[in-house]
Amino acid sequence: MKLKIYGSGCAKCQTLAKNATAAAQALELDYDLEKITDTNAIIDAGIMRTPALMVDESIIVEGKVATADEIRQLLQSR
Q: What is the per-residue pLDDT for 78?
A: 83
Give per-residue pLDDT as tens, 3-46.
Answer: 999 999 999 999 999 999 999 999 999 999 999 999 999 999 99
Question: Above 90 in pLDDT, residue 72?
Answer: yes
Question: Above 90 in pLDDT, residue 49?
Answer: yes
Q: What is the per-residue pLDDT for 31?
A: 97
Catalytic residue list? 10, 13
Whether the CB-CB separation of 28 and 58 falls below 8 Å is answered with no
* Whole-angstrom distance, CA of residue 7 vs CA of residue 12: 9
User: 15, exposed or middle or buried, with CB in 10 Å at 0-12, 13-18, 19+?
Assistant: middle
Q: What is the per-residue pLDDT for 26?
A: 97
CATH topology of domain 2-76: Glutaredoxin (3.40.30)
